[in-house]
Structure 1
Amino acid sequence: MEKSVEDVVIVGAGIAGLATALGLHRLGIRSLVLESGDSMRTSGFALGIWTNGWRALDALGVGDILRSKHKRITGIITTSVISGLTTSQLPFTAMHSGGDLELRSVNRKVLLETLETELPKDTIRFSSKVLIGCDGVNSVVARFLGFSKPSFAGRSAVRGLVDFENGHGFEPKLMQFFGKGIRYGVSPCDDRTVYWFFSFSPSPQEREVEEDPTKLKQFILSKLGKVSDNIRAVFEKTQVQNMVFSPLRFRLPWELLWGNISKDNVCVAGDALHPMTPDLGQGGCAALEDSIVLAGVLAEALKGNASENEYQRLQKGLEKFARERRWRSFDLISTAYMVGFMQQSDGIVMNFVRDKILSKFMAGMLLKKADFDCGKLTVSS
């Protein structure tokens, strides 16, 4: 078998890994993606892709493929689980930068398969020059670079997907519910499929339900509060095998200010770089942003002046990636943690402030952080 030499090795076939590989492919750079599992990492079932994520997917050339399979969300509705009353409604109207905000709940498996289909078939590769760690929250590459293990946020989340054979009947809205120390949301993916999440701070007595999917489902149903029957049906009809539980972890944001995002010919991207709580829905979108920036700087380095030292060009390219992504990652991690803290804090005063004053502010924060453009797949001349 003919052996080939590749310039880039990517550890992890998740969103950041496959998107970076595809970005490099679009720019004429071959790469090898290494995945420790025996299949793609499809846990989580679905994720919200906001405007910034769609801009990255368009740069990769797969945006319209995914749009055709997922319904566009037209606004956010927030509801108190204590009173059952709507606390804010925010339509996705035109924003200051021009154009409407775009949000769709995307099936994670469909996203990964779409990225994979666009990649060339791999062969054996040796003598790679760059190692990119896209190996998730518990990244081995991040630890090699000196980052600490992500911290536990004190909260846990359950994510699920449910299929309504005859259609779910929901409007294309992101519906969020808060109160009594819990937060959950419901969002349609298409006419039949609905994605949901449920976040809570487990007490010592509640930790035992985490290990039993049946008990976990009953626990969620007992905490839904005052909601309509059609919202409750989303959780009732979800099969336990279509639920996934995970403790929420995040990178201490100040680590990004002095930590090594890159070192020599090694760097991290995606959740390996910026694990964050899901309160902005920006984890996957930020990974897609990383892939566009990273593919661009690497292609520029690898296609640079042949008279210059290639290894030094690669180092400078990765340093450029680190500069561009350091503050964006810091901002997203910090804001997500702050929003999550306010949304799930309990108590009479906090419930009043959140429902009467902060609900529109926090919904607007989601839109503001989504209005970001990571750029196109280009190589500077």
Structure 2
Amino acid sequence: MSGTAVVVGGGIGGLAAAIGLHRTGWQVTVLERAAVLDDAGAGISLAANGIRALDALGVGGAVRAAARRQYTGGTRTPDGRVLSRMDGAALERALGTPMTGIPRAELHRLLQAALPEPCLRTGVGTLASLADADLLVAADGVRSGIRAELFPGHPGPVYSGSTVLRAITAAPVPLDTDFELTWGPGAEFGHIGFTDGRAEWHAVLAAPAGIRHRDPLAFLAGRFGDWHRPVPELLAATRSEDVLHHDIHELVTPLPAYAVGRVALLGDAAHAMTPNLGQGACQALEDAVVLAAELAAGPSVEAALTRYDAVRRPRAQSVARAARQAGRLGHRLSHPLAVSARNTALRLAPSGATINAILRHANWTPPKLP
């Protein structure tokens, strides 16, 4: 089955959906409001399920070539004590592919390169409707206008209680690990290394929504300056104008469906989740592959989207719940007794516990696309 499709949203999920549809014979147009995506200056870790989805879409090889494999890392306390270690080689043996880190801008570029140039239209201020196509894919993000139209009674996204500042360093920074998280009371600091020696860092804080800082780097230096290296070095290698600051919103109330008629919801529009498991983009990539596979199987758009909903909604909503719980046990803990109990439990956990936790969500096999 094929036809004309309009994808609203040119982020990772929207571009991946367009690739899947294009590869299976659809005529696709991607509409993106922004001229430049607001997360382009950040980085991303892709677990095995995300890489497998990219493989199914035919772009996995290009992404692997541009990404840094994550073999070393783990979780620490602000003074540098190790709480848990990530064995990337063991994960690769278990899943057949390693976790990887890549700048979001580079991932966007590779996804765009897999589409014919006329497919993507940026700076588009109006939304599409089914009058424009046989299929409408809503990949328009956490504040999806299409979701609001389809489910006017749904409360929509809510503030998670956490805000994130992040940036990519302007210069290479010596790193001992490929990927790392550090948990302090009410705060998390993490980094992802890239192939060129630069790194993305993020600082997640439990804080009221809407707070912004005149000099974000000065604020962060005061908040994290006495944490273990390379936290101060990462901040020192960053330009103030490169720091992004976003409040984290999520869909706490699950949607009753990811498809209505000939409209499919995908990515954050369907299941915006907290970033505590690093699964937001990976789940969007899974959505894209399943959507293309079900539409290719026919016999009608409506039937295919019914199957898409049945496959994707239980899994994505389960991952979203797990991400929310991970945040509660991670940076959102602030009481000294609770932090101490969490840290002790992590240090005493079996060596394979971290691997098993990642496998629980990353061990996914994509359907084959024709």
TM-score above 0.5, yes or no: yes
CA distance in 1, matches of 2:158, 2:329: 19
Q: Is 1:55 the equivalent of 2:52?
A: yes
CA distance in 1, matches of 2:323, 2:41: 18
Q: Is the 8 A contact 1:93 1:100 kept in 2?
A: no
Q: Is the 8 A contact 2:250 2:273 kept in 1?
A: yes
Summarize the alignment of residues 108-119 of structure 1 with structure 2, pairs less than 5 Å apart.
Answer: 108-119=104-115
Summarize the alignment of residues 214-293 of structure 1 with structure 2, pairs less than 5 Å apart.
Answer: 214=215, 216-224=216-224, 226-252=226-252, 254-256=253-255, 259-293=256-290
- State the TM-score, normalizing by the size of structure 2: 0.88
Q: 168-177 or 270-279, which moves further after superposition?
A: 168-177
Matching residue of 2:24: 27
Q: Is 1:331 the equivalent of 2:343?
A: no
Aligned residues with identical type, % of pairs: 26
The one-letter code matched in structure 1 to 2:136 is L
Q: Is the 8 A contact 1:72 1:172 kept in 2?
A: no
Q: Is 1:142 the equivalent of 2:130?
A: no
Q: Is the 8 A contact 1:12 1:35 kept in 2?
A: yes
CA distance in 1, matches of 2:186, 2:67: 31
1:369 aligns with one of 357, 361, 364: 361
The one-letter code matched in structure 1 to 2:35 is D
CA distance in 2, matches of 1:15, 1:112: 6
Residue deviations 1:66-120, cap 9 Å, x none?
Answer: 2112210103321111x43111212124359944552111111111111111112
Partner SS state of residue 255, structure 1: coil
CA distance in 2, matches of 1:127, 1:135: 17
Q: Is the 8 A contact 1:265 1:315 kept in 2?
A: yes
Q: Is the 8 A contact 1:101 1:371 kept in 2?
A: no
Matching residue of 1:88: 84
Q: Is the 8 A contact 2:43 2:192 kept in 1?
A: no
Matching residue of 2:341: 353
Matching residue of 1:7: 4
Matching residue of 1:163: 170
- State the TM-score, normalizing by the size of structure 1: 0.86
Distance 1:15 1:286, change over 3 A: same
Residue deviations 1:185-244, cap 9 Å, x none?
Answer: 01201132101111001259xx64x152x1x22222222265334331101221122211
Distance 1:262 1:273, change over 3 A: same
CA distance in 1, matches of 2:5, 2:343: 49
The one-letter code matched in structure 2 to 1:369 is H
C-alpha displacement of 1:339: 0.4
Partner SS state of residue 185, structure 1: strand
CA distance in 2, matches of 1:364, 1:174: 17
1:321 aligns with one of 287, 308, 321: 308
Distance 1:326 1:141, change over 3 A: same
Partner SS state of residue 142, structure 1: helix
Matching residue of 1:177: 182
What 5-or-longer segments of structure 1 have no aligned partner?
305-312
The one-letter code matched in structure 2 to 1:322 is D
The one-letter code matched in structure 1 to 2:230 is N
C-alpha displacement of 1:377: 1.8
Q: Is the 8 A contact 1:94 1:100 kept in 2?
A: no
CA distance in 1, matches of 2:287, 2:227: 38
CA distance in 2, matches of 1:335, 1:150: 17
Partner SS state of residue 305, structure 2: helix
Q: Is the 8 A contact 2:77 2:184 kept in 1?
A: yes
Distance 1:243 1:96, change over 3 A: closer
Q: Is the 8 A contact 2:186 2:205 kept in 1?
A: yes
Q: Is the 8 A contact 2:51 2:60 kept in 1?
A: yes
CA distance in 2, matches of 1:343, 1:233: 23
The one-letter code matched in structure 1 to 2:337 is V
Partner SS state of residue 94, structure 1: helix
C-alpha displacement of 1:42: 4.1
Q: 134-143 or 121-130, which moves further after superposition?
A: 121-130
- RMSD of Structure 2 on Structure 1 (CA): 2.4
Q: Is the 8 A contact 1:8 1:32 kept in 2?
A: yes
Distance 1:299 1:41, change over 3 A: farther
Partner SS state of residue 184, structure 1: strand
The one-letter code matched in structure 1 to 2:148 is R
1:340 aligns with one of 312, 322, 327: 327
Partner SS state of residue 246, structure 2: strand
What 5-or-longer segments of structure 2 have no aligned partner?
122-127
C-alpha displacement of 1:43: 3.6
Question: How many residue pairs are counted as aligned between the two chains?
Answer: 353
Q: Is 1:191 the equivalent of 2:191?
A: no
Q: Is the 8 A contact 1:13 1:41 kept in 2?
A: no
Partner SS state of residue 339, structure 2: helix
CA distance in 2, matches of 1:327, 1:218: 43
